[in-house]
Amino acid sequence: MDTPRRRGRPGHDLDAVLAAAVRLFNTRGYDATSMFDVAEALGITKSTLYHHVSGKEQLLSMAVDRAVDGLFEAAAHVQDLQGPATVRLQKLVESSVLVLAERLEFVTLLLRVRGNTQVEQHALARRREFDTLATELVKQAQAEGGIRADVDPATAARLLFGMVNSLVEWYRPERGHPEALAATVVRLAFDGLRTIAVTGDQATQEEH
């Protein structure tokens, strides 16, 4: 992680450009954000921006790739685990929350993609892939008897990750540890909101 001491006139690097673009895409929406807006946010002109990136779609493509890659890394890591499917499902939820917190801006953008271009359609396809993976895990956990079987597995998976994904709407990294949030999400999803007959094994916990 040393400074590679690049040649030529110093300026913005691709990561900074991408970060600025994604921030704008998320606040105003992808279509509502012009390349002029992105350039302005970086303090450069539009033509200079095109010196760094090939076009608007490349920015979107890079952003959703970072989100998707993070999610699939987490999924692969979980699939390497052994043990009951219920625990693996729990781990998948937990690590999804962590990836979401860590790559918040990228995942936010990913979750808003509509499928208008090939880039967007590819992103949607990968999301569906992740969905299938989660649904399979739910099915296994049900077969094991670890989680309730009176709910359609696809429905359960969608609701579960719908809850996880909704984080992008309000989570802000500056306040609160992602780990505590992940634990809360898992607790809520698996044990429910309702008060359980006092078992005393779970201490009172506060976050945010």
Partner DNA sequence: CGTTTTACCAACCCATCGGTCGGTTATTCA
Partner DNA sequence: TGAATAACCGACCGATGGGTTGGTAAAACG
Stretch that binds DNA, among 5-13, 125-133, 171-179, 198-206 (CB under 7 A): 5-13
Nearer to DNA by C-beta: 17 or 167?
Answer: 17
Nearer to DNA by C-beta: 49 or 67?
Answer: 49
Nearer to a copy of itself by C-beta: 51 or 208?
Answer: 208
What residues make contact with a copy of itself under the rule CB under 8 A? Answer: 27-32, 86, 112, 114, 116, 145-152, 154-156, 158-163, 165-167, 169-170, 181, 184-185, 187-196, 202-208
Whole-number Å distance between alpha carbons of 156 and 23? 31
Give the residue among 47, 72, 176 at the shortest CA–CA distance from 130. 72
118 is an interface residue for DNA by CB under 7 A: no
Strand ranges (E), 7-67: none
Give the residue among 155, 152, 156, 151 at the shortest CA–CA distance from 89. 156
Stretch that binds DNA, among 35-43, 105-113, 152-160, 188-196 (CB under 7 A): 35-43
199 is an interface residue for DNA by CB under 7 A: no
Chosen from DNA, a copy of itself, none, partner binding at 157 (C-beta under 5 to 8 Å by type): none
Do residues 71 and 96 lie in contact, with contact meaning Cβ atoms separated by under 8 Å?
yes
Count residues near DNA (CB under 7 A): 27
Count of C-beta atoms within a 10 Å radius of residue 171: 17
Which of 19, 23, 41, 57 is the binder for DNA (CB under 7 A)? 57
Report in angstroms how near the CB of residue 103 gets to a copy of itself at its nearest: 18
**Alpha-carbon torsion angle 194, 196, 201, 205, nearest 10:** 20
Whole-number Å distance between alpha carbons of 139 and 16? 42
36 is an interface residue for DNA by CB under 7 A: yes
Do residues 97 and 164 lie in contact, with contact meaning Cβ atoms separated by under 8 Å?
yes
Phi-psi region of 51 (alpha: psi -120 to 50; beta: other; left: phi over 0): alpha
Binding residues for DNA, rule: CB under 7 A, are 5-13, 33-37, 43-48, 50-52, 54-57
